Structure 1
Amino acid sequence: MKAGAADSGGRIPVDVTATNHGSDTADFTVAVDFRDASGNLLDATVASVDQVGAGKSKTVTVHSNRSLTGTVSVQVATALRH
């Protein structure tokens, strides 16, 4: 995952990439956590990555729900292939 610079509202964009290692097209739901330098949870959001072909990857961009400042790290909390 790659986080970008905050937008004019202070929301942080994050590129979420799902790779389908299966043999059929699949959808993915990815929960993303935004944490401060101490590891405290600041915000969370969910990304839907739909119709990822077999053996392919697809990237979508999601944003934090809140205006965040300071050092913010992002991580995948959970990912579900369905």
Structure 2
Amino acid sequence: MNDKKKKSDTNSSAENVEQHLQELEKADYERLYYSQEQTFSADELARSINEQRLTELMAKSDEFLKSLNSELEDFDD
């Protein structure tokens, strides 16, 4: 117990913060790495997708692309 107390006394606050940040970074990396390996079933994906919102976004993107295309055609003239 005294050895632990002595060791923690010799570490500065900055060293303790640095060590803690490194541990958090490692945990974040591991969480990201393992989350990429997860597979989702079609049912899980269907539950997580808001189909109405997706349809609205696709319609907006179509409108944007059409307007962009017309602007580009006008630019050539």
With the shorter chain as reference, the TM-score category is under 0.3
Taking structure 2 as the reference length, what is the TM-score of the superposition? Answer: 0.15
Rg larger for:
2
**Between Structure 1 and Structure 2, which shows a larger proportion of helix residues?**
2
TM-score (normalizing by structure 1): 0.15
The one of the two structures with greater contact order (alpha-carbon pairs below 8 A, sep at least 6) is 1
Which structure shows the bigger proportion of residues in strand conformation? 1
